[in-house]
Amino acid sequence: MTELIRTELIRHWIAGKFDDATPQRTGDVFDPATGKLTKRVAFASESDVDTAVAKAAEALKTWRHTSLARRSNVLFAFRELLNQRKGELAEIITAEHGKVVSDAAGEVQRGLENVEYACGIPNLLKGGFSANASTSVDVHSVRQPVGVVGVISPFNFPAMVPLWFVPGAIACGNTVVLKPSEKDPSAANFIAQLWHEAGLPDGVLNVVHGDKVAVDALLAHPTVKAVSFVGSTPVARYVYETGTGNGKRVQALGGAKNHMVVLPDADLDLAADAAVSAGFGSAGERCMAISAVVAVDPVGDELVAKIAERMAKLSVGDGRRSCDMGPLVTAAHRDRVTSYVAAGLSAGAELVVDGRGVRVDGESDGFWLGPTLFDNVGTDMSIYTDEIFGPVLSVLRVPSYAAAIEVLNNNPYGNGTAIFTANGGAARQYCEEVEVGMVGVNVPIPVPVSYYSFGGWKDSLFGDAHAYGPDGIQFYTRSKVVTTRWPDPSHGGVNLGFPQNN
């Protein structure tokens, strides 16, 4: 108990300051590389969520009418602050999530790209105009904010996913209540403070921490008009059904089982590099991780050997040291992922590389599991059917391109996929036939750049709108069409001053 009293408490950020009330419930935050308790995080009650939403609703009255020029100024200021302090944010992520610092820095950089896209909001919100649609009648369209937006983000990208949603929502004139993962909550508070320093008015962005109580409060709150979510498929389905059942606009991005198809004409060294990089980066805790390699005969033996050779050179350890891969986020998650290794063996898959008991450059109590490789995996095995969300890579062998397509399209997930081939015709056919939302050709993690949109198909997405980019602008605004007829304008007077954009 003495240790808990000394441990830092991560508090809610509401209306431009930290909430100083004593929370009724808290959660533990660990350093995954040491296994040590480092912080506690306040868990929001329904009343806490009500307070945050009320502050967001109050701020909306002014922010929605703030000019595009002033909104853009705040966004540019936030962009500069985030760029200047991205190293600090990366270290915060590593301390609570466990991914290596270079990977955390890459996460922040990809989030920064979405901030830069949102900085162009004056251009992104332009409507249409038709002069003299009927005699002396003009018609124009505008896009207006939806209102208070709830953002519920996952543990695996504590900075990037909030930066997928929050900049676009704010740029469009909405206000936001962000509920980050309780496993690694500090990044959200750091980002909120940067927004405050950039000049964002109090209440436009609020952060409430917690668990399902906070999530359900956001989904049920009548003032929250839209919800953006990223997480597992069962929870994404729940968020979508509950949110839409309460009359909200919802985009809920779910889980994945991302396949990488390797054709016989592929550069196998390139494919092996890609499989290892995309399979074990961030310890496999990515919704865009490659977790299933589909080897088209006869490349299986050579490809598996090349992947195993590269895995043997990977170093596992504390993300603040010179390691390739860090720990998993919690002990419970490590144990869950480890259980799949035993399940794969029991099902008859060939365990080529066993990550259990891996030697690490870190403390023994860290949440460790080394890179793991299975060969000859069947589509009925749990290591294939389930989203493991850890450093476990499965190789499936198929006799033909047609069989590979059948495997992918029969899978319930449709998030991302990749094909490795030197045949442009085969690649083009694959892009046309595969039932997946994001495709990479000789690119292992096809995460779209900020001016496109991110999202899958089938059980990987609930709702019509993908994340960020053009879909994000559409999701955070409503279209309005105005038809006008005016008499001849009167003379407005003389003003020789240079016009100002305010």
Asked if 135 contacts 483 with a C-beta cutoff of 8 angstroms, the reply is: no
Asked if 392 contacts 372 with a C-beta cutoff of 8 angstroms, the reply is: yes
CB atoms closer than 10 angstroms to residue 261: 27
DSSP assigned state of 391: S
Give the span between the Cα atoms of 209 and 247, in whole angstroms.
24
Give the span between the Cα atoms of 324 and 326, in whole angstroms.
7
Asked if 288 contacts 415 with a C-beta cutoff of 8 angstroms, the reply is: yes
Q: What is the helix (H) or strand (E) element at residue 406, kind and residue range?
A: helix 401-410
Determine whether 431 is an active site residue.
Answer: no
Give me 252's structure tokens: 């809920």
Q: Terminus-to-terminus CA distance in the chain, angstroms? A: 55
**Where do we find the tokens 């030197």?**
422
Nearest to 411, CA basis, from 389, 443, 384? 384
Nearest to 33, CA basis, from 362, 266, 337? 362
Instruction: Provide the CB-side half-sphere exposure for 127 (13 A, CA).
Output: 14
| 182 Cβ neighbours under 8 A, 6+ residues apart | 27, 29, 41, 43, 209, 210, 211
User: Pick the catalytic residue: 119, 172, 287, 323?
Assistant: 287
Instruction: Give burial (CB, 10 Å; 0-12/13-18/19+) of 486.
Output: exposed
Asked if 262 contacts 307 with a C-beta cutoff of 8 angstroms, the reply is: no
Give the span between the Cα atoms of 38 and 29, in whole angstroms.
6
Give the span between the Cα atoms of 484 and 385, in whole angstroms.
57
Using the Cα atoms of residue 167, residue 168, residue 169 and residue 175 in order, give the sign of their dihedral. positive
**Where do we find the tokens 């869950």?**
336
Give the span between the Cα atoms of 403 and 14, in whole angstroms.
53
Residues recognised as catalytic: 287
